[in-house]
Amino acid sequence: MEKYHVLVVEDNTEIANAIKIYLQNQGYDVYVGNDGLEGLEIIEKETIHLAIVDIMMPRMDGLTMVSKLRERYDFPVIFLSAKSEDIDKIMGLNLGG
């Protein structure tokens, strides 16, 4: 049986590791990137079935990363956010496809 591959893109190491450990314990293969650029590099090299992406990150934020990945890929994305403004949530929904 094929394992599903999950990409976690999060600049907070503790949060990224907690998500990674939980998903690995559930049987998923997990890849971790520290920002949007690293996330896109992993997507180019690996088959990804789901991405969990933080919105606020250095170098490339999550919204920009997902806009770029949507040019070539169509797997589901879950956004992580500490933002509370409605416009930020709406912008994230518009990237969904």
DSSP 8-state class, residue 49: S
Token pair 């079935």 is found at 49
CA atoms of 22 and 41, how far apart (whole Å): 23
Domain segments of the chain as ranges: 5-94
pTM: 0.83
What is the third-level CATH fold of 5-94?
A: Rossmann fold (3.40.50)
Asked whether residue 70 carries a pLDDT value surpassing 70, the answer given is yes
pLDDT cut 90: percent of the chain above it? 75
Q: How confident is the model at residue 11 (pLDDT cuts 50, 70, 90)?
A: very high
Is pLDDT larger for residue 51 or for residue 58? 51
**Segment (H or E) for 54:** strand 50-54
Across the range 39-43, mean pLDDT stands at 98
